[in-house]
Amino acid sequence: MVGRVIDRVCFLVMASLFVLGTVSIFLMAHFNQAPAAPFPGDPKCYLP
């Protein structure tokens, strides 16, 4: 009985970590913005 409880707690902890990690990766990609001047000294503006 104790082993089943520990197994379930570990499963819930790992599942929540996997879900939070996946969500954080998608949010980092969503909020990533390219810089206006990626190359120093280049006069061209790369953003629309």
pLDDT in tens, 1-48: 999 999 999 999 999 999 999 999 999 999 998 777 788 888 887 766
Model pTM? 0.64
Distance CA 26, CA 20 (A): 10
| Tens digits of residue pLDDT in 21-31 | 999 999 999 99
Distance CA 36, CA 45 (A): 6
Domain ranges of the chain: 1-48
How many CB atoms are located within 10 Å of the residue 41 CB?
5
3-state helix, strand, coil in the chain (%, to 5): 60, 0, 40
